[in-house]
Every structure is written in structure tokens, then in C-alpha cells.
A and B are shown apart, each in its own frame.
Chain A
């Protein structure tokens, strides 16, 4: 007997985790990019 509740939980949490974690990585890349740019500007 398949536990469909668990299957749906795996699907929703799995896909959510994929998008959420990659979205945070994207945000981090943008944030660090801006920080580096402002540091370089100050150095100039």
C-alpha cells in the first residue's frame, strides 16, 4: 500500500527545497556582487 500523503509531501517539499535553496544562492550571488562592486568603487 502506497502512502500517498508521504509521496505528496516528498514532492512538495522536494521541489520547494530545490527552488528555495537555489533562490537563496541567487540572492547571495547578487548581494556579494553588489558588495564587491561598492568595495571596488571605494578603492578607486
Chain B
């Protein structure tokens, strides 16, 4: 009888397991009741829950089911590029092509990545770990995961959850920074309506961009190539089936595998460490500085350009598509209900994705 009881998981439960259950329930609760990134927090929360059930061995190397998802999906670098394929098929680069200056804002918003990188180094993290923490500031979940798997796989759970948590908190984190760094007059700047972008330009964009970016930073190729392929599917108009599959069915499948694999890395032994708190703090620092840098760069550009840019769109350079652009729109409309910034903010928003992939490529090339 005693032997039978000992074979149950109940006898092997630890306090750490129970704490992780609470975290899992919190994620699932936030996803269901607050709608915080539900597509990811539900599978991540569930992954955390089941990996912290003793004796299930779901993450046992070579045998566990979730280990197989993690190993072949993330360690083999399959899932993040496939997510980028779907993102490309869902992204409209039109606003960015219509106003290419906004690409600079997407680059400027990468400053936070490097501030968090140095912050993590000062806190005692090694260079590859600091790269994985810094990239959280790019506010791009798949890029954060891709970089962390390459450079510091033991931090995967913490960096992925920090990235997705802060992405869902964009409407809370960004507005105070936007208010602090802009004047009333600047928030009311109206931007000229964007020109229509031809189909030829939209088709050429992914082709030119993949060549340029991959020539300059070859390590960014897996993500950039898939991103631009997905976009080419969407824009060329002759492979609608592929574009639809990449943006819907495939995206949904890999999202399930991504979420549960990330959750499965968060066992009590791996997650309940003081350094995880530092990762969350540095992630927030990265996010805040990226937001600030985008806004300040827009203000700086206004010193030179005749056509003024509303600095509120600078904050959208932190990727987090399209939530960051929506925050710019909402903030602009609050100060002038006739000011429509959404399409203008989409430019830096999608440029931020490209900028973060380039930053990640350099991290992997130099620190890997």
C-alpha cells in the first residue's frame, strides 16, 4: 500500500511546484479574464502547470513529450521562423513604404535593447545572457525566444514570459512615458495623409529588404527570410492559399507548440531563482527606454524635416504589432479627436520588427 502511495506524484510535490502552479493559474486567469495575450498565456500557463506535476517526466531529455516539442521546435529553431512566416503574411508594409522616414523610428526604438544589455551586464549576467535579456526591449516574442534559445537557453522561460507580459502591458507602460516626453502642442501635430502604395512596390519590398538585411547581418536570415517570404505570399496575389495557411492554420499550430514548449521550460528548479526577478526588471527598463528613444528620435527628426512627425508615433517603434500603434492612435485622438495616427504609427511599428531582428542577428553573430 505504502509503495503504491509512493508512486503517486502527491508524495513528491515540493513548495516550488505549488508556487509554479500559482503562477500557471495566474497566467491562465489573466488570459481568460483580462485578455492579456491569451493565445500565448493559456498554453504557457498550461505548460507550466503540467511540467510541475511530479513524476510526469514531460521534460525528460529524449523521452518526455514536451521535451520533444521543445527540442525539435525551439532548439532546432523551427518554430520562431514559422511564426515569422505567419507574421509576414499578416503584415502590411504599405504605411512604411508610403513614408519611409518612419523606418528610422523603428531603428531608434532599439536603444532600449542596448541599455538593458548593459544593465544586465552590470547586474552580473554573462554576455550571452545579457543579449537575451536586452532583446526583450524589442518587444518581439519570437525574436526574444530565438535569441535566447541560441545564447542562453536556461533563461528561456523568464525572457519569453517577460517579453509577452510586457507586450500585453504596452497600453499601461507606454502612455505615462509618452505624456512625460511630449508637449501638448506636439501631441496635436497632424500628419499628411499617406500616399497610396502600388502593388509593384509592395511586391518588391520583401525581395529588396531580405537581400539588404541578410547581406548586412547574415545571422538574421532565418527570421528575416521567413518574414519576407510570408509577406511576399500576401502581396504577390497568386498564392492566396499559401498566404492564408501561413497567416491562419500554420500560425495557430506553431503558436500552440511555442506556448506549451515555453511553459514547459518553467519548472520550479529552473524558474524560482533571484535572477528571474532581475530579468523582469531589466525587461521593463528595456521597454521603457525603447519607448522613450522612439519618441525622442521623432522629436529630433522634427528639427530637420519640414513636414513634422507627431512624436507619439515614435513609441510604436517597439514592435508589439499592432498594439503599440493603437496606443499612439488612442493617445493622439485623446488630445485631438480628429487626429488619426494609426496608419502613420504602423510604419515605425513594423520597422521595429525588422530592427529587432537585425539587433538579434548581431547578438547571435557576436555573442554566440
The residues of A with any CB-CB pair to B shorter than 8 Å are 2-4, 6-7, 9-11, 13-15, 17-26, 28-30, 32-33, 36
A11 to B120, CA, bound (A): 13
Q: Which residues does chain B contribute within 8 Å of A15, judged by CB atoms?
A: 110-111, 114, 359
Interface size for B (C-beta < 8 A) is 39
Main SS class of interface, B:
helix
Contact of B100 among A2, A17, A29, A36 (CB under 8 A): A29
Roughly how many angstroms separate A2 CA and B126 CA in the complex, as a whole number? 7
A-side interface mostly? helix
Q: Is B200 interfacial (CB-CB < 8 Å)?
A: yes
B180 at the interface (CB under 8 A from A): no
Chain B residues near A17: list those with CB within 8 A. 216-217, 358-359, 361-362
Query: Which of B103, B118, B361 sits near A22, CB closer than 8 Å?
Result: B103
Check: B208 CB closer than 8 A to any chain A CB: yes
Q: Are A20 and B216 in contact (CB under 8 A)?
A: yes
Structural contact, A11 and B106, CB atoms closer than 8 A: no
Residues of chain B at the chain A interface (Cβ within 8 Å): 97, 100-101, 103-104, 106-107, 110-111, 113-114, 117-118, 121, 126-127, 130-131, 198, 200-201, 204-205, 208-209, 212-213, 216-217, 351, 354-355, 358-359, 361-363, 366-367
A16 CB → nearest B CB, Å:
9
Residues B366 and A9 in contact, CB atoms below 8 Å apart: yes
What is the minimal beta-carbon distance from B285 to any residue of chain A, in angstroms? 15
> Are A14 and B212 closer than 8 Å at their CB atoms?
no
